[in-house]
């Protein structure tokens, strides 16, 4: 629901992340009925409606996490430091087999709590139990692209993942204004979904104009498997099936060759960079510079807690930029401005929401966060220096510095108090659910 009424943020520094890099050392932003009515300097703008004194905080667009699996918060800190196949066979799949709708809800609530505490206002999710978890995502106050997973084999939820996923989309589509849940489909990956099913998913997404959220070329092993099976790279195989004629969000996108990249560029496939997950599983390093040189749009995601542990997008952003600089031997690559854009407006673009969110501009939805400038990480702060502000966000801040958040103008967190959730209950239910999974899957 969009908030009704008018209020003005004042006593804050504002980074708008618009195309012109507009910022206000002493800014004001008026929010009306969930949208930004006016944004400017304290000297220019009057105080309208209720006054929100931000105590000198740094205000910027909410962060957009373009790839995650919210159910996996229950698997956090289990079975780390393993090789991929051991990790999947000995820990992840045995635990996943004991999930239920109720446990998926507990996991989603915990993930949403972590997203909020770290400044993520919008996230692109992919998993089963979409119907069960969508109300949890909606009640958290966040904006969520919820891709119901489609898998060739039966899942823990259902024998017919396509049927469950498409029924979910049909039930939730068209209610985004009210729920902030944008339903879509998540065919898992080229190695886990066959050609006939991938084609049906693509047809459905085109017909309903919804996003197709998948994983492409995460590992070299995946490429080898697909090449052995179909004689093509995963990207060229999907192109041959007509899948890439959809709006496609492709997690990882690491092992792409020249022809794959040309296809990505021509089809407008969005690549979600998941640096910490890729480092932890030693999947490889996304060829970020080459992707950008091909005109491919890139955003950033945490991936799930089972392959990242922490949902701190600011921390991942810094890691992601630093490894690219190192890999390319070029410290000028991926500068702070670009880093901040990657986790805001470029994320919005990946989800086809850039006209609504991702920057703070009059007419857009009021999805914003504030960083606590009393944090030692944000001191000293040169409020009249754009480069200093971008650097503070990109290199110095972390999720723990986020103190306030609003989505659609509704306050979700104020002074680090989450207003939309009963956090004690969320922690208790998640703890119990995780203990159940560990006990029944005999991971420990």
List binders of Zn ion among 303-342 (CB under 5 A): 303
* Minimum CB distance to Zn ion, residue 9 (Å): 35
List binders of Zn ion among 413-432 (CB under 5 A): none
List binders of Zn ion among 29-68 (CB under 5 A): none
Element (H, E) at 226: helix 220-230
Nearest to 45 by CA among 362, 364, 382: 362
Q: Which is nearer to Zn ion, 215 or 365 (CB)?
A: 215
* Minimum CB distance to Zn ion, residue 394 (Å): 24
Q: Which is nearer to Zn ion, 13 or 149 (CB)?
A: 149
List binders of Zn ion among 286-305 (CB under 5 A): 303
Q: Which two tokens stand for residue 386?
A: 């754009």
Q: How far is CA 213 from CA 147, 175, 249, 400, in A?
A: 6, 20, 5, 29
Q: How many residues bind Zn ion (CB under 5 A)?
A: 2
List binders of Zn ion among 236-275 (CB under 5 A): 251
* Minimum CB distance to Zn ion, residue 304 (Å): 6
List binders of Zn ion among 165-224 (CB under 5 A): none
Q: Which residues of 353-372 are buried (b: 16+ CB within 10 A; e: fewer)?
A: bbebbbbbeeebbbbbbbbb
Asked whether 95 and 330 are in contact (CB, 8 A), the reply is no
Element (H, E) at 238: helix 234-241
**The residue to which tokens 């708008």 are assigned:** 16
* Minimum CB distance to Zn ion, residue 271 (Å): 13
Q: Which is nearer to Zn ion, 127 or 237 (CB)?
A: 127
* Minimum CB distance to Zn ion, residue 316 (Å): 13
* Minimum CB distance to Zn ion, residue 72 (Å): 9
Q: Which is nearer to Zn ion, 28 or 213 (CB)?
A: 213
Q: Is 378 helix (H, G, I), strand (E, B) or coil?
A: helix
Q: DSSP alpha helices (H): ranges in 44-181?
A: 84-86, 93-96, 101-117, 130-139, 161-172, 176-179
Q: Which is nearer to Zn ion, 303 or 404 (CB)?
A: 303
Q: Which is nearer to Zn ion, 192 or 356 (CB)?
A: 192
Residues that bind Zn ion (CB under 5 A): 251, 303
């Amino acid at each position: 629901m969009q908030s009704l009424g008018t209020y003005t943020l004042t006593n804050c520094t504002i980074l708008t992340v618009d195309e012109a890099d507009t910022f206000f050392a002493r800014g004001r932003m008026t929010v009306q009925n969930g949208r930004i009515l006016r944004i400017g300097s304290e000297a220019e703008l009057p105080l309208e409606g209720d006054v929100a004194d931000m105590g000198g905080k740094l205000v910027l667009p909410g962060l957009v996490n373009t790839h995650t699996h919210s159910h996996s918060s229950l698997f956090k800190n289990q079975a780390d430091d393993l090789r991929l196949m051991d990790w999947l066979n000995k820990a992840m799949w045995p635990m996943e087999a004991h999930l239920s709708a109720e446990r998926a809800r507990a996991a989603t609530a915990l993930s949403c709590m972590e997203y909020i505490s770290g400044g993520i206002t919008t996230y692109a999710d992919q998993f089963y139990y979409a119907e069960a978890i969508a109300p949890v995502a909606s009640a958290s106050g966040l904006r969520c692209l919820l891709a119901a997973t489609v898998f060739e084999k039966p899942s823990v939820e259902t024998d017919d993942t396509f049927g469950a996923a498409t029924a979910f989309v049909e039930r939730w589509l068209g209610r985004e204004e009210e729920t902030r849940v944008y339903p879509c489909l998540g065919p898992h990956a080229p190695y886990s979904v066959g050609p006939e099913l991938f084609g049906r998913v693509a047809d459905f997404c085109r017909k309903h104009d919804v996003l197709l959220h998948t994983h492409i070329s995460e590992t070299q092993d995946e490429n080898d498997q697909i090449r052995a099976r179909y004689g093509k790279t995963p990207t060229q195989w999907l192109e041959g099936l007509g899948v890439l004629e959809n709006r496609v969000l492709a997690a990882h996108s690491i092992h792409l060759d020249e022809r794959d990249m040309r296809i990505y560029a021509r089809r407008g496939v969005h690549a979600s960079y998941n640096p910490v997950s890729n480092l932890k599983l030693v999947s490889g390093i996304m060829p970020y510079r080459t992707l950008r040189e091909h005109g491919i749009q890139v955003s950033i995601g945490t991936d799930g807690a089972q392959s990242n542990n922490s949902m701190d997008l600011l921390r991942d952003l810094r890691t992601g930029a630093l490894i690219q600089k190192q890999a390319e031997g070029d410290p000028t690559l991926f500068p702070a401005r670009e880093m901040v854009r990657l986790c805001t407006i470029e994320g919005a673009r990946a989800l086809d929401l850039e006209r609504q969110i991702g920057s703070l501009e009059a007419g857009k939805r009021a999805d914003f966060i504030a960083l606590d400038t009393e944090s030692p990480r944000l001191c000293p702060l040169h409020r009249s220096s754009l480069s200093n502000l971008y650097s503070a966000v990109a290199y110095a801040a972390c999720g723990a510095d986020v103190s306030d958040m609003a989505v659609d103008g509704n306050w979700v967190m104020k002074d680090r108090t989450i207003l939309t959730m009963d956090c004690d209950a969320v922690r208790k239910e998640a703890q119990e659910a995780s203990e159940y999974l560990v006990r029944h899957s005999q991971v420990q």
